[in-house]
A and B are shown apart, each in its own frame.
Chain A
Amino acid sequence: MAGPLAPLPSGPDESPDLAALEVEGISKTYGSVRALTDVSLSVRTGRIVGLLGPNGAGKSTTMKAVLGLVRPDAGRIRLFGQDVAADPPRAKQQIGYVPESPALYEFLTGAEYLDFVADMYGLDAATRTPRIQQFLAGFELAGHEGSLISGYSQGMKQKVALIAALVHRPRLLVLDEPLNGLDPRAARVTKDLLRNLASHEGVAVLFSTHVLEIAQAICDQVVILSRGTVLASGTMEALRARAGLAGSGLEDVFLSLTGTGDLGDVVAALAR
């Protein structure tokens, strides 16, 4: 069995200033519901961008649009300078994706699922085997990989989804609340791994979470969405300055910018 997670073999030599993902003015409407309005953001290689926002803000829709799972009504999405709509399979080959609620094939074992994913990305046996085993050990799933996924806990399923997103060494990671259900150790491994991949391998990461401490700890930049529009974006310092809350944490900045800062009355009412 392979040991704990070691840094992955070095990936493509990315220029630190290369724009990995450019989302330019995308809009999306479902019937009468406007899900996204003129959303723009970019993720450069080696950077982690946190996508924050209240429930229903459009974070998942934006991420699905990057994957080509949602077709924007307007705007353009480029991956390493190429329009993703021009050659979707080529774009998807370079992306690792964890959806908000990963629906895995529960009738497969963890190993079979990861083998399936490796086949989808064209990994040969010599490449996939040590890599999968390394991830299984790192996420403490070794010994469970022969069991059907239907018997896994939510956290175990989330770990499998994470491994599936990482196994082909993507150049862009699109992670929709990837720490959901993870135990503290696995969450720490994931956070450190993302930082490691970004800084050493030049992987670009678009990352959504509701846990603002995590975003504050690992993101180089933050994009705050609200009601389908970009409310603010930039580094932590820039956001603090914009909110006029120098020295404050991301939670205060977020609540201030999204207009949900005054919660005292709500809490008092609920406590009665």
Chain B
Amino acid sequence: MDLHRVRRLAGVLIASQLRSGRSTSDPESFFGTPGFLAVIDTAAFAGAALLAWLAVRVSGLPTAAWAQLVGPLLPFLPLVGLSVVLVAGTMFELTATVRFSGSDAAHWLPLDPSEYAMASATAIAFSYSPSIALALGGVLPVAFVSGTFVPYLVAAGLSVVALLQGGLVIEIVRAVGQRAGAVAASRGGRATLVVRAALLILVILAVQLAFNPVVLLAVVHDLASVLIVTAIVPFLWSTQTVFDVLRGDPWLALAFGAGQVAFLGVLVDLAGWARARYWVPAGSEADVGPVRFAAGHPWFSAAGLSAPESAVAAKDLKGFVRRREMMPTLVVPVVFVVLIFLEGGSLGALGVVLWLGWIVGFFGLILATTSVGQERRSLQLLLATPITPRGLHRAKVAAVLVPVLIASVLVGAAVGVYFGFDPVHALALVAISATAGVELTLWGLVFAARYSDFQDRPRPQFLRPSGMLAATASGTVLLFAFLVPAAFALAATGMTAIVAGLVATAIAVGFGVLSIVWSRSGFEALFRELPF
């Protein structure tokens, strides 16, 4: 393996992510170089260390107390890195746009598969390194005062190894997934697309739940005391190494530590092998099924949409299940719904209403805010057709409301049954969550019309960060302004319930009308000139 080539390629892959879509930015800008990430790492590390040091100074706790705190924490530091890379990696790397994940630009170069895998894993690890820099910075002062600096250094080193391991696992899954996708595509059939999407969602969901830091730490904490378990799971050897250093068993620590580094080598070979064995160029032709030309879409037409509006809405719905980059949007609410069922016992009826309304509302907000940006460069062709701004607005509302309303009915009913709501309250729960979904859908379009990002990126963001921030902050306020009185209306009885219900309705209607007016004016502006 030529490490110089690996380093050069990793640098290009990182720069490609940082610079993608910045058509107007200066290519010489420092913000588009790996050095920028290094500065973020350093700032995150130093900032967290400073805050932790201040906390140590202010608290005045004795050394023993800090040792008690940091002792159980240090062994899990490497797992934090692994967890972050796997959770974020499956979410964003596996769902990257085909054109970017295809990496065809590098295929013609005289690269060994292992070199590419290592370079890509390094780029992935570096992309998510600020999280581990934050964790390491936060623990440093505590480790220093508690006399566990040496175990800290071991944990820090193994955290870097864990980051790379996570990146390599992503590379292996990506290579295998690419082949699986190509095989599925070669079999053809319309169902293939749904199955392919469902499998990707399942993989992401499984990793999201399995490597969710809360779940992971709970499981590992229970297992870590059992040496036999950590001994047979290589990903836990880092944890075991730090445990052994803390316990003063250097030989066992050395064995597990060396094993962990050796396992990294095995993963490099495995990733190279997987790439050589399974990788196929992106974009193989997939026959989806019999061809039928038909005008219009009866369901949308019945809802009052014109032919062009129906066409856009139907096209967007196909995009939801066929576009890999849309998968995170579909997975995140599912993760939260699963958490409702896991944690629901402690929430209470009021909490369930707020939690469910929040999930459905934010599902609507995310779908709506991304609904215009996901047109990307195709917006040029869309705006060249005779659709009107108001027509496009109606189409986007319809396209988002279909999944949002389906989700609110299905999840609302399931939650209602699971938590023993009577039929009337279960129905009210569905109505509240559906209203929350509609409200934030309309609100999200206000931002979609103004802040959409149409640039092609490996990890598309569809909405500019400033827009996402503004939409999330204002959406949260708006959502809870409606949900709190609505939840009270559900939980209370008599006059209180009626008043709370009226307040919730007034808020929903008022903001709904405002959202429609503002989003329509945004769509008018969008049509005035192509935004790229």
Is A234 interfacial (CB-CB < 8 Å)?
no
Within 8 A of B (CB), among A80-123: 88-90, 92-93, 95, 97, 99, 101-109, 111-112, 114-123
B295 and A119 within 8 A (CB): yes
**Does B285 contact A92, Cβ atoms closer than 8 Å?**
no
- Additional A-B contacts beyond A107-B319, A146-B291 (20; CB < 8 A): A67-B383, A67-B384, A69-B383, A69-B529, A70-B530, A103-B377, A105-B315, A107-B323, A108-B315, A116-B311, A116-B314, A117-B385, A120-B308, A120-B312, A120-B387, A124-B295, A146-B289, A148-B285, A148-B286, A148-B322
Given A103-B378, A125-B294, are A147 and B386 neighbors across the interface (CB < 8 Å)? no
- Are B293 and A129 in touch, CB under 8 angstroms? yes
> Whole-angstrom distance from the CB of B419 to the nearest CB of chain A?
37
> Of B283, B294, B378, B527, which is within 8 A of A105 by CB?
B378
Contacts of A64 in B (CB 8 A): 380, 530
Interface residues on A, range: 35 or more
Q: A101-B377, A102-B381, A105-B319 are in contact. Are A152 and B308 (CB under 8 A)?
A: no
18 chain-A/chain-B pairs, Cβ below 8 angstroms: A69-B530, A70-B529, A71-B529, A95-B384, A99-B384, A108-B318, A109-B288, A119-B307, A119-B308, A119-B311, A120-B308, A125-B295, A132-B293, A146-B287, A146-B289, A147-B287, A148-B322, A150-B283
Interface residue A249 (Cβ < 8 Å from any Cβ of B): no
B528 CB–A CB distance under 8 Å:
yes
Q: Are A111 and B378 in contact (CB under 8 A)?
A: no
Q: C-beta contact mask, A115-148 vs B, less than 8 Å → 1, else 0?
A: 1111111111100110011000000000011111
Q: A111 touches which one: B293, B308, B376 (CB < 8 A)?
A: B293
Interface presence of B496 (CB below 8 A) = no
Does any Cβ of B come within 8 Å of A151's Cβ?
Answer: yes
B39 to A: closest C-beta gap in Å: 29
Chain B residue with minimal CB distance to A72?
A: B529
| B185 part of interface (Cβ distance < 8 Å) | yes
| A129 surroundings in chain B (CB, below 8 A) | 293
Whether A120 and B385, one on each chain, are in contact in the complex, defined by CB atoms closer than 8 angstroms, is yes
Q: Which of A95, A105, A112, A114 lies at the interface centre, i.e. has the most chain B CB atoms within 10 A of its CB? A: A105
0/1 string, B366-385, CB within 8 A of A gives 1: 00000000001110110111
CA distance A129 to B295 in the complex (A): 9
Within 8 A of A (CB), among B84-111: 98
User: Measuring CB to CB, which residues of chain A are less than 8 angstroms from any residue of chain B?
Assistant: 64, 67-71, 88-90, 92-93, 95, 97, 99, 101-109, 111-112, 114-125, 128-129, 132-133, 144-148, 150-152, 161, 164
Most buried by A among B293, B314, B319: B293
- CB pair B293–A99 under 8 Å, yes or no, is no
CA distance A188 to B95 in the complex (A): 40
Range, interface on chain B: 35 or more
Q: How far is the CA of A109 from the CA of B295 in the complex (A)?
A: 16
Contact of A93 among B288, B377, B386 (CB under 8 A): B386
Residue of A nearest to B189 (CB): A146
The answer to whether A104 touches B378 (Cβ under 8 A) is yes
CB-based contact A88/B527 at 8 Å: yes
Residues of B within 8 A of A124 (CB): 295
Are B377 and A151 in contact, with the CB atoms below 8 A?
no
- Chain B residues near A71 (CB, 8 Å)? 528-529
Evaluate contact between A92 and B385: CB separation under 8 angstroms.
yes
Q: Are A147 and B285 in contact (CB under 8 A)?
A: yes
Task: Indicate if the CB atoms of B387 and A89 lie closer than 8 Å.
Answer: yes
| Shortest distance from the beta carbon of B134 to any chain A beta carbon, whole Å | 36
Chain A residues contacting B293 (CB-CB under 8 Å) are 111, 114-115, 118, 125, 128-129, 132-133
Cα-based distance from A118 to B322 in the complex (angstroms): 21
- Docked pose: A150 CA to B283 CA in angstroms: 5
| Contact A107 to B318, CB < 8 A, known contacts A97-B384, A118-B293, A146-B290 | yes
B208 on the A face (CB < 8 A): no
A99 to B384, CA, bound (A): 10
B296 within 8 A of A: yes
Which listed residue, B308, B381, B388, touches A97 by the CB 8 Å rule?
A: B381
Given A104-B378, A104-B381, A148-B286, A90 and B315 contact (CB-CB distance below 8 Å): no
Q: For the complex, what is the distance from the CA of A161 to the CA of B286, rounded to whole Å?
A: 19
Alpha-carbon separation in the docked complex, A112 to B291 (Å): 8
Given contacts A129-B293, A146-B290, contact A121 B386 (CB under 8 A): yes
Q: Which of these, B283, B311, B530, contacts A151 with CB under 8 Å?
A: B283
